[in-house]
Structure 1
Amino acid sequence: MRSVVQRVKKAAVRVDGEVVGQIRSGFLVLLGVGEKDTDADAAWMVEKIAGLRVFEDADGKMNLSLLDVNGEVLLVSQFTLYGDCRKGKRPSFSTAAPPTQARALFEQVVGAMRAKGFIVETGIFQADMDVELVNNGPVTLLLDSEKKF
């Protein structure tokens, strides 16, 4: 499972011009599911995102987590995170999970984040979405449950 986590002041996702999810301060998470991903990958991703200490404390150091700052989460499914561009100019998505598997694991991440007490908004799975954000910092991190970074 892969994600791009962006610390934001606000973020929103629209489908056909209508806002379907929006948050105030917190994380915009673009989440991709790979064909080999399991419940363990989803659990790892939830714990990693929830525990990232990238919000500033009273001394201006990135020392606080999403829980510490009562941050919100906008989760957007993005299979293109599994695009392989090493060969040619057209990405291959052969290692992305099929839609049924990807949807189930995506929903598992959403549910687990909500169970931790976060306000979680989402896009619409498999929709053509427009994502808006105000990146705070900017702080942008890449997470991969297979590579554990």
Structure 2
Amino acid sequence: MSCVKLSKNGCAKEFTLAMFSGKWKTVILCNLHYHGPYRFNELMRLLPKVSHKVLTSQLRELVEDQLITRHTGAGSQPQVYYALTALGQSLMPIIDAMCTWGEHRIQQLAVTPPSTISACPPKHPVIPDDRRSPPPGRPAWQLSVHLECA
């Protein structure tokens, strides 16, 4: 049973957006798509700003929505890793289009995102350890555009 529910007045686009709306879901999906399966702790290291609880929750929702699978390896100490499903693969053109649109919009706004932050492939998204204040003359909302992108 999917954790995404279609509201009474909902439509297909709301349903689609709800499947990957979440602060870290898009980044998780992109990494699993472009870099293959990851173990939980690898994802934790990749996303240093996410808490254990939030990452667990986001992964569970993605598994429940059948966008990723949770695999447990055999052995005395089974290793759990997450991989993208065919359904998750089918969302990637939508996410890529959103990323392209966002990059164009950032250029229009004359925002200079740090080169280390990107939810867009093929780079690993790296979240900075500190939240910097905006440069002089740049409104704070412009800084949040690229810090919250991933």
Q: Which has the higher contact order (CA 8 A, sep 6+)?
A: 1
**TM-score, scaled relative to structure 1:** 0.29
Computing the radius of gyration from Cα coordinates, the structure with the larger value is 2
